[in-house]
Structure 1
Amino acid sequence: MDTDKSLQRLVLEELDYEPSIDAAEIGVAVTDGVVTLSGHVSNYAQKLAAAEAALRIEGVKAVVQDITVRLSGDEKVSDEEIGKRAVAALEWHSTLPTHRIHVTVEHGVVRLTGDLDWQCHKREAGHAVEVLKGVVAVINAIRVNPAHRMASVPEVRREIEAALKRSTDLDASHIVVAASDGKISLYGKVRAAFERDAAEIAAWSVPGVINVENRVEIQP
């Protein structure tokens, strides 16, 4: 399809433009708006950046990550050292209750477990270790167990819609919100994947939320 070829070209251009990525060994294929990234990069941060770059392109519905991380000699770090750096990186964030986060490392794969009250803290913990030297993957298995019950459905809907309207990345008029017993469902249509992600982040920002089901569709 011509649209897929156009998206492929735009994604390749975005990867080349992004200074944090060495795109020389990254391949891009597009089928019905779904982008598949292949090839290899020298660290995990570049792998994540590549996916984020592809999602910034309007019309991209989803990204399939098939990129592998091949650490160069100067990027290799022992699991013990990665573990120490991961703990230090988490402790550097004053808002994180690090005593509730557990870190394990095996062959460069960092696994985070534990229980936190906020989804934003779970994301923050993941971001803290993703950029560490020697990391080849991060498994964020932290559970989110809110300390407070979610507000009533009308209040939740108002809070989410207000958060969506504050976002510069999203037209909230096309998003429908349903909420019940700590679970939120999002429906509607947006133009790009990053807008769908913005809607989900806004939903997770509501106190008491334990699950978000994002059914927002991408319609260029």
Structure 2
Amino acid sequence: MRRPISIVIVGIIVVYACMHFFVLPEAPEVTRIENITHLESPAYNPAILDLWEIAVESTGVENESAVLRKLEVDLAGDGAARMIWLYFYGDKDGEQHGYEAYVGPGGTVSAKSQKFNFSVQGVHPLALLREVDAIVLEEIPFRDRGMRLLVNPNAYGDHYNGTPGRLYEVSGGMFCPVKEVTFGPDACWYTITITPHRSPGSPPSPEEVLIAFTRQDLAVAESVVYG
């Protein structure tokens, strides 16, 4: 009895595979641009603004349509940029695209794009990237351990009270302490989070987590308590 059952199972799998191949829509093609240029990144200066200019020029995105999705920077203990990822949305030739610009350990820039068709929320990358670029990462207390900087979008409301990490307003590279921030359910905002490298399974303590908001993002908060 085992052999007929095995044949039936294999037949079902083959039929399903054929249905998937011929019936289900194919994912949009990913366009890759390899070895665009070399990004010069001095110690503790990942050259985010230079990367943005390279990304715009190499992908052909309509600059004014761009929306920031995410930025991630991984720095070694000596300040060298190990990895940089910049994700954003934008239009090209009247069609929406998702974009990724990537910088590897050697400084080589690559990019890729993919068409999509759904609405996105967020802001143009430049203002936020300028704030990140102005942060003097060499003055971060745990810099010699290496660090990860993450810029992420948020929505649907939240309350920050210092439990997950130390809170700040950042403007022109200067940090102003914040005690509490509350965002309403309709707000959209970004956070800039900086954490030290840790061994796997050993998350940083709240004292080692720096969470910053730009003035632009705090302007949409329901309440902000400084101090």
Q: TM-score scaled by structure 1?
A: 0.21
Larger strand share, 1 or 2: 2
Q: TM-score scaled by structure 2?
A: 0.21
Larger helix share, 1 or 2: 1
Which protein shows a greater Rg?
A: 2
